Structure 1
Amino acid sequence: MKFDIKEEHLIIKPYKSQTSVYVREQKGFYQKIRRYINWLLMLAFIAMPFVQFNDQQAVLLDVVKQEFRIFNLTFWPQDFILLAGILMVAAFALFFITTWLGRVWCGYVCPQTVWTLAYVWVEHRIEGTRNKRMALDKAPWTLSKAYKKTLKHIIWQLMSLFTATTFISYFVPVSELYSTMLTFDWSGAVTFWVLFFALATYGNAGWMREHVCIHLCPYSRFQSAMFDKSTLLVAYDAQRGENRAPRKRKDDPKALGLGDCVDCNLCVDVCPAGIDIRNGIQYECINCGLCIDACDQTMEKFNYPKGLIKYTSEQQLAGKESSRFNLKLASYAGLTLMFILLLGIWIDSRIPLEANIIRDRTALYRVNYEGVVENTYTLKILNKTQQPLHFDIKVENLNGIEIKLPKNVLIGAGVMEEIPVTLAIDGYKLEKKITNFDFIIQAIEQPNMLVQKNTVFFRN
């Protein structure tokens, strides 16, 4: 809603939605950095599912089998406590980076920004420069306009489909995914999710664009809570730039009473969020640096010093010394490193083996014809490694026990096996009717991989 106050009466007018943002293509120092980072990330995103490790896909989050493989580590639903550790690391890393460098994630790394600018690049190649695109949208429909619009959306949809298929290849084995794609034999679930993410990519990067960053992304809403006066931001130096006005290159701005801003409006034209950075610090700004490169280009043409728009802080804008490293930043950095270290220690000390013991529920014990007391158990052993392993099963704290179990306990990679075990002992050798003891389950090929499970033995 928009409120206008006239003659002491409150007039309510309906909110008018923002017009479409036509992003002008811009080159420059920061855009070169961003493009290198984006290409690196996109190539890594596309290539990672094809990387093989131990003759299998290196990164595979198999939801159907509930097996999440990352190179030589395999995680199972029982390891989901790890997710809490990862989220804690991500949270404190977010606090640290945002406090230090502002919304650098949004401007250089966020998939929404990467794909949006890739779609804009396609749009620019087909429909032309910013002014040509604006004129094309206002022009009546012709065969040429229909051709350009159709070609653009076909390419966008192909990019979306490729992006969605690549994303799904992290959850479905890549060999299976692409082989069934070529034979049009995708399952209903795979088809649904590929089309879903293709539609999401097409809608977000092609149509919604800046509205995702401004209205849907929660990061833009709570980021200000992490800012301080030393946080690096994209800002306009109003003291140097005002009064702004157009002028000729040979004009002396001081003689005309003008600042360095020539009011070319390029900083607005190149902004993916469609904001005017000269109006002050705004939550919509994603710190992409496009306005900096555009302004520096103009300053160079007029032989003015660069940096009218730059990465700076509130303290530096006010002419004060900015302390880049303060207690708040150091605390975030320390907590981030601490959680990374703890997470690394947890993963390193993690035993890729899980075992559960189930007693025979039909009888606590039985006595055979020789008078020997027997207890039966079922050992459920999960081999979390990526290699088949042989296991040795022993009993501790129960002297004189006889163990009856399969001789060759071999469990495949990522397989849970149920091993029947019978323990037999002369009842007179036990002092108590209920005796606590431990099963020791150890991998023969990896002696350090063992678990110890406590249970009880009953006698008459």
Structure 2
Amino acid sequence: MSNNKTSHNNIDPVTASSTQAVNRHPATEQRIEFRELPISPAHQSAKLSKKTPLALGQIHIREQKGRFQRIRTATNSLLVILFFLLPFISYQGNQAILFNLSEQQFIFFGTTLWPQDFTVLAWVFIAAAFLLFFTTVFWGRVWCGYLCPQTAWTFMYVWIETRLEGNQNKRIALDKAPWTRQKIVKRVAKHIAWGLTALLTGCAFIAYFVPARELYSDIFSLEASFWVTTWVWFFAICTYLNAGWMREQMCLHCCPYSRFQSVMFDANTKTVTYDANRGESRGARKRKQETELGDCVDCHLCVDVCPTGIDIRNGLQYECINCGACVDACNQTMEKFGYQKNLISYVSENSLKGKSQPIFTSLKFIGYGLSALIMLVVIGVDMANKSDIQLNVLRDRQNLYRETAQSQIENSYTLKIRNKTQQTRQYRLSIDKPQLMLVGNAELVIKPGEQLDYPVTLKTDIDQLMSTRTAIIFSVTDINQTDSRVSQQSNFFGPL
């Protein structure tokens, strides 16, 4: 069923219902005029807040199936699985992803980043921010609905709760029921399951900082160190509180993204939206019943399935996380009543007005897209120029030079050479001036992640010097990978 009506976006649903009743039933005009008398604020507020979980207290989310919930479940499941399994992946004999705080290094699939390389991580975070803004301009808070860890763990905890305590109505009834043995058993089982999930989550998080294979065995055998145990339990408690108890409160009051997201929206941003022009005036009816009401049957399923407990029919609200649960619930109802789907849908303001424009014409879309692209290029360039060898050349601070009995001049240096890979490497040391001779071994073996302080002496005959200061370049080359090379300039001093 599809109704053609004028817009009621700025009209109260109750008043709109009365006004339309006058137009559609002129024969009962006197009775309808009585209904058009001013409605008390208390009565109006009670109607609008009917069955609104956000206003009534604790939210019990109703499970919903549908297209968007399948997408959300798939993306959430994939991210959760990757979160738990990535620390167990090995690469070249080491944990593939590891923030080794004790050694001050970040290992990512064979690439090791040291503190001086952390500008790459800064570029990654900036690029991720611009990509988030870029996506928001087009799809609104799709990150919150489909990719946010808070959403993933909240739905995971709701799934556990539903399996142990029953569906939405049974959970509400259980809350109101007296404390019987059955209620205690269900509640204890639920909190034990929540606690184990939280503990595994804490272990998984710390496994990115401590070798994962030893961490789990140490934690569950109570052999982990004090600080490792403390951090695991800290994140476990945070997970238990956030996903089990706070849930929507994190989205409503703690998440900064919900507060500033609106500045990235424009009239072409697709967000979960209720088509009030088609849905109002809402009202209950039987299936296949002829009615002059709008398509909204006022079933409140869109409210029951909302993880933040809002009524999307009240318009765009910052609490909406764009998860699409209300879209699936409404489409299910529309299908049962034989009405056209997408009374609630992902749609832009311009599309509702019939003025849809290509999203790529938006200045925000172009600006965020270019910014993200530039940052990705910067990351690529920075990674391409990153060397697996670090070299610092320090001159002897005590003597500028030394003159030997054989009429030779010597300069002393200390080379700080770091092997930034996770494999033992062989290096060759060289200088660019053939008249200078290197005293000592020119081939070095350095262990993974080790920094070698290597003393070096250069000498030459006094008659080979053309000036009191000669610029020289020290080079360190990987013997097995000659393209891996690093150089640094210094000076060789002699007498006047």
TM-score class, shorter-chain normalisation, is over 0.9
The offset of 1:182, in angstroms, is 4.6
Deviations 1:291-331 (A, max 9, x none): 01111111111111111100101111223223232142133
Q: Are positions 1:55 and 2:90 aligned together? A: no
1:373 alignment partner in structure 2: 409
Q: 1:344 aligns with which of 368, 375, 380?
A: 380
CA distance in 2, matches of 1:18, 1:247: 26
Q: Does the CA-based 8 Å contact 1:253-1:260 persist in structure 2?
A: no
Question: How far did 1:137 drift?
Answer: 1.2
Matched letter for residue 155 of structure 2: L
State the Cα distance separating 1:18 from its structure 2 match.
Answer: 6.4
- Secondary structure of the residue aligned to 1:27 is coil
Distance 1:321 1:156 in 2: 46
1:405–1:419 Cα contact (<8 Å) kept: no
Alignment check: 8 A CA contact 2:90 2:96 kept: yes
CA contact (8 A) 2:387 2:485 kept: yes
Equivalent residue for 1:362, pick from 360, 373, 398: 398
2:81 to 25, 43, 58: 43
Which one of 193, 205, 208 corresponds to residue 243 of structure 2?
205
Instruction: State how 1:22-421 maps to structure 2 within 5 Å.
Output: 22-254=60-292, 258-328=293-363, 329-396=365-432, 398-421=433-456
Displacement over 3 Å in runs of 4+:
none
The partner residue of 2:487 within 442, 452, 459 is: 452
Separation in 1, partners of 2:467, 2:221: 67
SS of match in other structure, 2:359: coil
Alpha-carbon distance in structure 1 between the residues aligned to 2:447 and 2:55: 59
SS at the partner of 1:409? strand
Residue aligned with 1:94, SS: helix
Query: Which one has more relative contact order, counting CA pairs under 8 Å at least 6 apart?
Result: 2
So what's the TM-score if we normalise by structure 1?
A: 0.93
Greater shift, 259-268 or 362-371, is seen at 362-371
CA-to-partner distance for each residue in 1:120-150, whole Å, 9 max, x for gaps? 1111111111122112112222222111111
**1:151 deviation in Å?**
0.9
Q: Name the CA distance, whole Å, in 2 between partners of 1:282 and 1:327.
A: 22
Shifted more, 401-410 versus 266-275: the winner is 401-410
**Contact 2:429 2:443 (8 Å CA) reproduced:** no
2:302 touches 2:311 (CA, 8 Å); kept in 1? yes
Question: 1:74: Cα distance to partner?
Answer: 1.0
CA distance in 1, matches of 2:248, 2:219: 33
Contact 1:67-1:75 within 8 A present in 2 as well: yes
CA deviations over 1:1-25 (Å, ceiling 9, x no partner): xxxx9xxxxxxxxxx9861111111
- Report the 3-state secondary structure (helix = DSSP H, G, I; strand = E; otherwise coil) of the residue aligned with 1:438: strand
Return the letter of the residue paired with 1:393. L
Deviation at 1:51, TM superposition (A): 1.2
What does 1:424-435 correspond to in 2, within 5 Å? 424-435=459-470
In structure 2, what is the Cα distance between the partners aligned to 1:136 and 1:93?
Answer: 44
Structure 2: give runs of 5+ residues left out of the alignment: 1-40, 42-53
Structure 2: which amino acid aligns with 1:287?
A: N
The SS at the match of 1:453 is strand
| Mean CA deviation greater in 38-47 or 19-28 | 38-47
The Cα offsets for residues 187-217 of structure 1, whole Å up to 9 and x where unpaired, read as: 1111011001001101110011001011101
Q: Secondary structure at the match of 1:325?
A: helix
| 1-structure distance, mates of 2:272, 2:419 | 52
Contact 2:278 2:295 (8 Å CA) reproduced: yes
Report deviation, 1:360: 1.6
Cα distance change of structure 1 residues 369 and 169 upon mapping to structure 2, 3 Å threshold: same
Larger deviation, residues 299-308 vs 171-180: 171-180
- Structure 1 stretch displaced more, 372-381 or 176-185: 176-185
TM-score (norm 2): 0.86
RMSD: 1.7
Deviates more, 1:196-205 or 1:183-192: 183-192
For the residue of structure 1 that corresponds to 2:194, the secondary structure is helix
Could you list the per-position Cα deviations for residues 60-97 of structure 1 after superposition, in whole angstroms to 9, with x for gaps in the alignment?
11111112111121111110111221122112101110
- Taking the aligned partners of 2:411 and 2:168, their CA distance within structure 1 comes to 81
- What amino acid sits opposite 1:241 in the alignment? G
Give yes or no for contact 1:389–1:413 (8 Å, CA) kept in 2. Answer: yes
Separation in 2, partners of 1:211, 1:300: 33
Output the amino acid matched with 1:457.
F
Q: Which amino acid aligns with 1:259?
A: G
Equivalent position amino acid for 2:117 in 1: D
Partner residue, 2:26 = none
Cα distance in 1 for partners of 2:447, 2:89 equals 23
Q: Structure 1: where are the runs of 5+ without partners? A: 6-15
Q: Is the 8 A contact 2:403 2:409 kept in 1?
A: yes
Give the aligned residue type for 1:285: C
- How much identity, in percent, do the aligned residues show? 49
Across the two proteins, how many residue pairs are aligned to each other? Answer: 442
2:239 partner amino acid? T
Q: CA deviation at 1:381?
A: 0.4
Separation (CA, whole Å) in 2 of partners of 1:83 and 1:187: 29
Paired residues of 2:428 and 2:442 also in contact (CA < 8 A) = no
More helix by share: 2
* 1:158-191 deviations in Å (ceiling 9; x for gaps): 0000011011111111122133235421011110
Q: Is the 8 A contact 1:392 1:443 kept in 2?
A: yes
* Cα contact 1:22–1:130 (8 A) shared by 2: yes
Partner letter of residue 389 of structure 2?
Answer: L
1:268 Cα shift? 0.5
